[in-house]
A and B are shown apart, each in its own frame.
Chain A
Amino acid sequence: DAGITQSPRHKVTETGTPVTLRCHQTENHRYMYWYRQDPGHGLRLIHYSYGVKDTDKGEVSDGYSVSRSKTEDFLLTLESATSSQTSVYFCAISESRATDTQYFGPGTRLTVL
C-alpha cells in the first residue's frame, strides 16, 4: 500500500464551523490531490498540488482552500462548512500528472449538520 494517511478518519461538525483535513504521505511524490466522493457521482477533484506552496483548483473548488508547506503534507480547509460539503474526502498522490497512477488514501468521512 502506498504510504498515505488521512486524519481525522471521521468528523461530525456543524454548519458554519471551519474544518481542516490532513493528508500525509511517506512516498515523496510530487503531486497530491483532494477528491470528494458522493453517491451517484464519480470522484471529483477539489484541488491539487504540484509542489510545496504550488496548488491549483479542480472542478469543485468553491468553498475549499488548500495548503502545502511540506512535501509530505497537504491540508484541505473548509472555511465555513455547509451541509452540501457532507461527503467522503480522499487524498491521492502521484509522481507525475502525465501518466502516473494516482494512489489513494483511506478517506475521511465528513458530516456537516
Chain B
Amino acid sequence: EDQVTQSPEALRLQEGESSSLNCSYTVSGLRGLFWYRQDPGKGPEFLFTLYSAGEEKEKERLKATLTKKESFLHITAPKPEDSATYLCAALRSNDYKLSFGAGTTVTVRA
C-alpha cells in the first residue's frame, strides 16, 4: 500500500535557524513528488514538483531535494513568515493517484 510519511510532525525554529523537513514515500512507480505550503484556514499552495532522484528546486529560502525513497525540504535562515504547515504528496505513475502526507507544522519565532 502506498504510504507518504512526513517528519517531524511539528518543528519550532528560531528566526535564522536552518532546518530540514523529511518526506519518505513508498509508492509503486513515482511519477512526481509535490510540496505545498498551507497557512491556517487556507488551501494548500503549490511550491515545487520533483520528478527524478537527484533533482533540486529552490524558491527563496526553500530548497526541495529528491532521492529514490525520500524528499527533503530545507529551510535556510527562516523568517516568521515561513511559519506554516508543509505538505508533501507522491503521484503514482500507473493510475496518477496523489497520496498526501499529514504535514509538518513549522513555527518560526522572531
Contacts and interface: CB of A to CB of B under 8 A. Distances in A.
Interface size bracket, B side:
20 to 34
A64 interface: no
Interface of chain B, helix or strand or loop or mixed? strand
Nearest to B5: A42
A90 interface: yes
Given A97-B96, A98-B31, A101-B49, A107 B101 contact: no
Interface in A74-113: 90, 97-99, 101-107
A99 B52 CA distance: 13
Interface size bracket, A side:
10 to 19
B5 to A, nearest CB: 10
B31 A41 contact: no
Interface of B: 4, 31-32, 34, 36, 41-46, 49, 51, 87, 89, 91, 96-103
